[in-house]
Structures are given as structure tokens and as C-alpha cells.
Amino acid sequence: MKHANVALFVPHAGCPYRCSFCNQRTISGALNSPVAQDVRKACEIAVKSGNANPENSEIAFFGGSFTAIDEEYMISLLESAKEYIDKKYFKGIRISTRPDCIDGRKLEILKRYGVTSIELGAQSMDNSVLALNNRGHSAEDVVNASRLISEYGFSLGLQMMTGLFGSDRDKDILTARRLIDLKPDTVRIYPTIVLENTELAKRLETGEYKAQSLDEAVELCALLLLMFRKNGVKVIRLGLHSGGSVEEGYIAGAYHPAFRELCEGEIYLKQMLECLGKKDRGRQYVIEVPQKSISKAIGQSKRNEKALKKAGFYCKIKGNDFLDDYEIKVKEL
């Protein structure tokens, strides 16, 4: 059976603020908030199509500030989802919410209804960046909520953004460091995208804000990916999902439907250039990479192969089943 989340978007429903970059209706592609019956319908579809698996499938409520929505409404959604947890069709329920909308009472409710994972939209750990983007919470809120979530035994997920208004490379790296300190189980990294009908779109128009280029975001996110990996934190998402209506609402920013692949390609390129280091230019080399990563190592449109050639190295990239992710071996031909 395939791993499948039943994903239900609760757009804007509980948001006390309007973040500078956010147009959740565009991101989720969902205009209406789901009701209890919609949850049942989505779960039934997953069950009937054989895509529900008690080992690893989850019912996920994304898109809004789940614990900030009207409590009666929140419980009605959870109750419907719990029916399918009790029948052992799914492993648990995942929700995403704001760091300032978590307290012991709310966590007790979530636990009672079978929630197992909580993701917090931290976005930045720099208070000035948070304020400039109307987040309405502080970095301390992220720390406190994360600790509470872990103490209550939930799996903790943290989301961060790069290239926010008022941020820069150093601040984004510092955010990643501070998130690592909170020992999350998972992380999602989203480069900032400027969408229509957002405050960021206005700032872009007035010239106050300059969007991160795709190259800048790829270089930075490749570094962040390695940082999290070295610290045992799984990065479960890198870049916004394609589909929904992002492409329609897109104005500027580092968006690419295969963003993670670009970042992983960048990691391989850096590793290859580092290993080739002071080796003789103009010679031929074989570079072994994990079998499953050959296309990432070659790069989109052979970008990496071309970069190696430009640096004076003629390389043949081959797969090796015994290498771990991002591990490479260089041999002279």
C-alpha cells in the first residue's frame, strides 16, 4: 500500500493576522473551509482506493492556524477524522498551526482526538523579521510552543522561510540553527514567493522588497538542507508544492516545481568541485554518486556536467549502490 495523507486545507480560518506573504486561498487552491462531512468523504476515498495505511498514512489539516479556529468547529473536524483513526485506517492526525496558538489545554484536546504531529509555522527566528512580515508572534513563542509540543509527546514539525522581507542569508542560516536547537522531528523550508493580493506584492511594487532569485534560494537552501541533515533533522519539504493555484497567483520569488531537486543538484556540484579540488584540469574523471541520485548529480539540463567542464574537468557520472546520500567518489580515468 502506498503512503498517503488525506490533506484538508482550512484556509485563513483561524488567522488573527495577515502575514505579509500569505494568500492561503491561493496556496491551498481551496476556497471553502471543509466541514465534518468533507473530512469523512476524503477519508472514505482514501480507504476505498486502498491508499490508507495504518503504518504511515496520516490525515492532515493544513493551510490555516488550526488551533486558532473556533473550538467547536475544530473539534467537529477532529471528531470525523478520529473515526478513521479508531478504525485503524490511518496512523494519526497531523495539523499545522501558529506558535502563539498552542497551550496545554489545546494540546490536551488534540491528544484526545488522535493528533500525533504538530507543525508550527516558525518562518523566522529573528524578531524584527517576524514583525516586518506581520507574523504577530515572536521567536520566543516558537521556542515555548516547541517545548510544550515535545513535552506532550507529539511529533514536532517546524516550518521556516527564506528571503522574507527584512531577512538575509545570515538571518536565514541563524533561523535554521535555532530551529535545530529545538530538536524538531521534521522541517519544511519554503523560499518566499510573492503572490498576488499580498502585502509583499505591494512592497515589491514600491521597491521596498527585493525577491530572492532562484539561484540565491537554491544555493542557500542546499546549505540549509545539509545543516539539518547533519543534525539528524529530516527535511520533508523544500519549496512550495506545484499545483494548487500558486502558478496563477505568482508574481516573483524563487519558485520551481522541482525546487528540491535543484538544491540537491547544487549539493552534488559543490561536493564534486570540492573533491576535484586541486586535481589536474583537462583530465578525465569518473565520479561515482548514489545510484538513485545520478540525475541530481548531472543536474537539470546537464547543468552540473556543464559547470564541471567549465571548471576544466571532464567527468563521467556513474551510479554506485553503496554510497549514501550526497556521498561521492572521484577516480581518474
Q: Which residues bind ligand SF4 (CB under 6 A)?
A: 12, 15, 17-19, 22, 24, 64-65, 98, 121
Nearer to ligand SF4, 121 or 184 (CB): 121
Q: What stretch of H or E contains 276?
A: helix 259-276
Cα separation, 237 vs 259, whole angstroms: 10
Nearer to ligand SF4 by Cβ, of 194 and 272: the residue is 194
Nearest distance, CB of residue 69 and ligand SF4, angstroms: 11
Nearest-10 Cα torsion for 139, 145, 151, 157:
-80
CA torsion 156-247-214-159 (nearest 10°) is -10
Alpha carbons within 13 angstroms on the beta-carbon side of residue 100 total 12
Q: What is the DSSP letter of 69?
A: S
Report whether 202 contacts 250 (CB < 8 A).
no
Shortest separation between residue 221's beta carbon and ligand SF4, angstroms: 19
Please state the closest distance from residue 119 (CB atom) to ligand SF4, in A. Answer: 11
| Strand ranges of the sheet holding 186-191, from the earlier edge strand across to the other edge | 6-9, 58-62, 92-97, 115-123, 155-162, 186-191, 234-238
Compare residues 121 and 299 and give the one whose CB is closer to ligand SF4. 121
Three-state DSSP state, 111: helix
Q: How far is the CB of 121 from ligand SF4 (least distance, A)?
A: 5
Residue 63: CB minimum distance to ligand SF4, A: 7
Nearer to ligand SF4, 101 or 254 (CB): 101
25 vs 82 by CB, closer to ligand SF4: 25
Residue 18 C-beta: closest distance to ligand SF4, Å = 5
Nearer to ligand SF4, 28 or 304 (CB): 28
